[in-house]
Chains A and B, each alone.
Chain A
Amino acid sequence: MNRYSIFSLLRNAVNYHQDWQRAWRSPDPKREYDVVIVGGGGHGLATAYYLAKECGVTNVAVIEKGWIGGGNTGRNTTIVRSNYLYDESAGIYEHALKLWEGLSQELNYNVMFSPRGLLHLAHSVHDMQEIGRRGSAIRLNGIDSEFLSPAQVKEMVPFINLDCRYPVMGALLQRRGGTARHDAVAWGYARAADDLGVDIIQNCEVTGFRIEDNVVTGVDTSRGMIGAKKVGCVVAGHCSVLASMAGFRLPVESVPLQALVSEPIKPVLDCVVMSGSVHAYISQSDKGELVIGAGSDLYNSYSQRGSFDVIEETVGPVVELYPIFSRMKMLRQWGGIVDVTVDRSPILGTTPVKNLFFNCGWGTGGFKATPGSGHVFAHSIARGEMHPVAEPFSINRFNTGALIDEGAAAAVAH
């Protein structure tokens, strides 16, 4: 791999940028791999990277039915934070945030991680109690969290309308939170994994599993059968589809989640502002677009688009809270299919089929976890048993009742 640096940039500038190496190969699938990862989103690619980098497992393929990062990884509003209520969540999201902090250097790829600070607005007494409880819990876990008064919110976001239909009574700030460039995360992991020998196979759909005596031995794909000693399934909204191919069900429902971006404008908003109770999440991209996250539809769907009324419910509060945006034009709107669990926490675990592992259920908020999830999932697959950080997120918790109820706790989607 040619390393990216100021020198490689200069060298290539001299050649009119004609000689840049391809960022990753496009190999034909081999007959068998030690590990096959199904799903070339950020989580799958990160898993493959850490398998090769840290676990010594380099005979690995990532099999993606479309193009890498074309799922939720390339459709999300890129909010990164680790301020969750429960210890288990703090464990995995903070593990991820620490990896984010060094990720561009680690991958030699600019993932544009921007810890610009992230505000959660509180609009009611209930919201204030919620941020009070959660903010204190976060600090007990050694994670940064500050309470802001409405005046301090106004200092950070001067044009916010504090006294509106959704009065701002306070906010919770995580300064280390922020955003990252979603595509770059997929591409950076892909390039680094490829360099370590991982085969990234795009336009190849997994259509079934080969299972003998309840042990997985390979996957059937649109490009033929590919043998595998172990399989890790990281397909987000399609996890139930893959689970049904393997003969079991998951405690997951797939629903559309939407986002929209505006025309680009000069820098005006230099932090992320989230507002769980009115469903308005907003930040400004480096290109200048406002990036707005909407709520999810309530009914199961794989249609990759959402309802109009959801957009209206999101744009209403945005205009109310930020009147200066009221005349901006929205350029694009899209949906992704998110895999939602009842407790709004992910599933990482072994399955009823031996050597078949699932990593899913990240729902509306898994982008932030990409490095941490890939890291602990890789170690779990390599060892054949779950990494301690992943352990509490087993499928089994829905049977034992040991839920990690972030949905009820934070009422915040992303």
Chain B
Amino acid sequence: MLLIECPWCGQRDQTEFHPHGEAHIARPEDPDALDEAAWGDYVFFRKNPKGLHYERWVHSHGCRRWFNVMRDTVTDHIHASYKPGDPKPELPITADGGDTTGTPKT
């Protein structure tokens, strides 16, 4: 079970949240202009990486707001959570090499 940081409410139990898959997928400007391949690609195809994953969560049993999380899918360690529209964070997050969950980097 994960401890997830909502950018508005702070750290809460994972059961308060709902994940919604890969983040930073921009909706095509002009969907009508896309062919089958491009539309299918946008709707269904995902990176599904083994490692760092940028993903969307919604605080469904809390403030009900959406935000993004940067998590390692091998360890399930959460490196950062950030508001929609914020730039994609990179590793390392803080000056001392730790991350926003307060876990020092080892």
Binding site for B on A (CB under 8 A): 238, 240-241, 244, 249-254, 298-303, 307-309, 342, 398-401
B99 in contact (CB, < 8 A): no
Given A302-B73, A303-B75, check contact A399 B49 (CB 8 Å): no
- Smallest distance from the beta carbon of A243 to chain B beta carbons, Å? 9
> How far apart are A233's CB and chain B's nearest CB, in angstroms?
14
Nearest CB of chain A from residue B91's CB, rounded to whole Å: 18
Partner of B73, one of A249, A250, A301, A401: A301
CB distance from B97 to the nearest CB of A (A): 23
Q: Which residues of A contact B94 (CB under 8 A)?
A: none
CA distance A358 to B15 in the complex (A): 35
Write the nearest CB–CB distance from A89 to chain B, whole angstroms. Answer: 19
- Number of B residues contacting the other chain (C-beta, 8 Å)? 27
Q: List 24 A-B contacts (CB under 8 A).
A: A238-B50, A240-B47, A240-B48, A241-B49, A249-B46, A251-B46, A252-B48, A253-B21, A254-B48, A298-B19, A299-B55, A300-B19, A300-B73, A302-B73, A303-B74, A303-B75, A303-B76, A308-B1, A309-B1, A309-B14, A342-B44, A399-B37, A399-B40, A400-B36
Checking B21, B43, B76 against A301 with a beta-carbon cut-off of 8 angstroms, the contacting residue is B76
Q: Is the CB of B1 within 8 A of A300?
A: no
Check A240–B49 contact: CB distance below 8 A: yes
**Contact A253/B46 with A299-B55, A303-B76 known, Cβ cut-off 8 Å:** yes
Q: Which residues of A contact B48 (CB under 8 A)?
A: 240, 249-250, 252-254, 300
- Which 8 A-B residue pairs are closest in the complex by CB-CB distance? A399-B40, A240-B48, A251-B44, A299-B19, A398-B44, A249-B45, A399-B36, A307-B1
Within 8 A of A (CB), among B23-53: 36-37, 39-41, 43-50, 53
**B39, B44, B53, B76 pick with most chain A CB within 10 angstroms:** B44
Min distance, Cβ A399 to any Cβ of chain B, angstroms: 3
Distance (Å) between the CB of A245 and the closest chain B CB? 11
* Option from A244, A309, A401 in Cβ contact (under 8 Å) with B15: A309
Most chain B CB inside 10 Å of its own CB: which residue of A254, A398, A400: A398
Main secondary structure on chain B at its contact with chain A? mixed
Question: Are the C-beta atoms of A251 and B14 separated by less than 8 Å?
Answer: no
The smallest beta-carbon distance between A65 and chain B, in angstroms, is 12
Q: Which of A240, A241, A302 has the most CB of B within 10 A?
A: A302
A250 near B50: Cβ-Cβ < 8 Å = no
Distance A52 CA – B73 CA, assembled complex (angstroms): 37
Docked pose: A301 CA to B75 CA in angstroms: 8
Q: What residues of chain B lie closer than 8 Å to A244, measured between beta carbons?
A: 47, 49
Asked whether B64 is an interface residue with its Cβ less than 8 Å from the other chain, the reply is no
Shortest distance in angstroms between B102's beta carbon and chain A's nearest beta carbon? Answer: 21
In the bound complex, residues from chain A placing their C-beta under 8 Å from that of B55 are 299-300
User: Would you give the shortest CB distance from B13 to chain A, in whole angstroms?
Assistant: 9
Given contacts A299-B19, A301-B76, contact A307 B14 (CB under 8 A): yes
A301: chain B residues at CB < 8 Å are 73, 76
Taken together as a complex, chains A and B put the C-alpha atoms of A309 and B3 apart, in Å, by 13
Bound CA–CA A413/B90 (angstroms): 36
Closest to B18 in A: A298
- Residues of chain A contacted by B71 (CB below 8 angstroms): 299
* Residue numbers in A under 8 Å from B46 (CB-CB): 240, 249-253
Which B residues touch A253, using CB under 8 A? 21, 46, 48
Known: A251-B44, A302-B73; 16 extra A-B contacts, CB below 8 A, are A240-B48, A241-B49, A249-B48, A250-B48, A251-B40, A252-B46, A299-B71, A300-B19, A307-B2, A309-B15, A342-B44, A399-B36, A399-B39, A399-B41, A400-B36, A401-B36
A215 to B14, CA, bound (A): 44
- Residues of B contacting A309 in the complex (Cβ-Cβ under 8 angstroms): 1, 14-15
A244 to B1, CA, bound (A): 28
Set of chain A residues within 8 Å of B75, measured between Cβ atoms: 303
Contacting residues, chain A, for B47 (C-beta < 8 A): 240, 244, 249
- The CA-CA distance from A254 to B49 in the complex, in Å, is 9
With A303-B75, A308-B1, A399-B39 as given contacts, are A241 and B45 in contact (CB-CB < 8 Å)?
no
